Amino acid sequence: MIPLSVLDLSVVTTGTRPAAALQNSIDLARHVDGLGYVRYWLAEHHNLASVASPAPDLMIGQIAAVTQNIRVGSGGVMLPNHAPLVVAERFKMLEALFPGRIDLGLGRAPGTDGATAHALRSRLDRREGDDFLERLSELVLWETRGFPAGHPYNNVVAMPDDTPLPPIWLLGSSDYSSELAAQVGMGFAFAHHFASYDAIAAMTNYRSHFKPSGWRETPHGILAVAAIAAETDAEAEKLASSMDLNRLRRDRGQYLPLPSIEEALAYDYTDAERASVLRNRSRLFVGSSATIMAKLQPMITASQPDELMIITAVYDHDARKKSYSLLADAFGLGKKAAA
C-alpha cells in the first residue's frame, strides 16, 4: 500500500479559536504518529481568519518535539516572503535538533492577499515579478557554498554550519513546479486539493523528466488530496457540508472560520451555488473509507505517486482524528507497523 502523510492548515472554526487550533495540530500530530503516517507538513498562510499558523517553522519544532517517528516539515515555506538565508538558518537549526526528521517544502506563492504580501516583503526588497527561481538558487548556494569568487556572501555562513539543510521539496499546482522539481532533482508535491491543473499530467511530467542530483537520485512525488472519512457515507457527507460552505465563501473572497455542520446544513443554497459546490467536490473525496478508496484508486493508479498526503478540514477535532484513523486502517498502516 502507498505511504500516507498529513497536510495541516491548523484550521480555525467558528467554535475553535486560533490558539486552540494550534493545540489541535499538536494533538493530531501525536495521533497520526501513532497510526503510522510517515510525514506531517504545516502550511504557511497570512491574514486568513480560517488558518491559525503563519509560521510553519515554529510549528515544526513544537510537533517534532512531541512525536517520535514521523517526519515533520513545511508544506510549505512561501519563499517569496523570506530571505533565503533566514530559511537556511531556521531549517538547519531544526535539522540539528531533530536529525533525519525534517523536510523543507517550498512554495512560489505568497500565501496571502496583495496588501499582506507587501507588508511581509516591503522591508526585505522591492523586486517585482516572480523571483522564486532566484531565491531558490540562493537558498541552494547557502548549502553548497558555490557563490562566485569575490561575492560578498562568501564571508557569510548559515549556522549551524555542521548541519545540512533537510531534503527540499517543491510544491505546486501547475506544470511549472513539476518541471522545475524534475530539472533540479528535488522532491515534488502536487496540491490536487486546490489545483485546476491535471494531477496526473503533473505527476507524470515530473517523473518522466526527473534528473538525478545531489538532492535526490530518484524522483519522489507526493500527491496531496483533500479527504473526509467517516463510518458511513451519510456521516461523511454531513461533515463535508462545512467544507462545502467554506469553499463557496472562499470563492467569493470570504476567508472565514470553518462553519459548523448546523450552520452549513441550514444555509439556503441557490441553484448556482449548488452547482459551484458540485464543481468543488471534484477536489474533495468524501465517504466511508471504502468509498474514498474506490474514488481515489483510479487517480493513484494513473498518477503513480510515491506517497499520498491527506488534508482533512472538518469542524469537529475528534471527527478529524477519526477520519485519519479510518484512512490509516483502509491503507493498511497498522499492518505495516506490525510487520
Cell output for 178? 513539476
In percent, the amount of the chain with pLDDT more than 90 equals 86
- Distance between CA 33 and CA 39 in Å, rounded? 8
Q: Domain coordinates of the chain in residue numbers? A: 4-232+286-331
Predicted confidence (pLDDT) per residue in 28-63, tens digit? 999 999 999 999 999 999 999 999 999 999 999 999
113 pLDDT tier (thresholds 50, 70, 90): confident
Q: Does 333 or 115 have the greater pLDDT score?
A: 333
pLDDT for residue 120: 74
Superfamily holding 4-232+286-331: Luciferase-like domain (3.20.20.30)
Average pLDDT over residues 112-135: 72
Buried b (16+ CB within 10 A) or exposed e, 166-180: bbbbbbbbbebbbbb
pTM of the model: 0.94
339 pLDDT tier (thresholds 50, 70, 90): very low
pLDDT for residue 256: 95
Average pLDDT over residues 253-282: 95
Q: Which residue has the cell 478529524?
A: 320
Average pLDDT over residues 178-207: 95
Cβ atoms < 10 Å from Cβ of 188: 29
In percent, the amount of the chain with pLDDT more than 70 equals 95
User: Is residue 338 scored above 90 in pLDDT?
Assistant: no
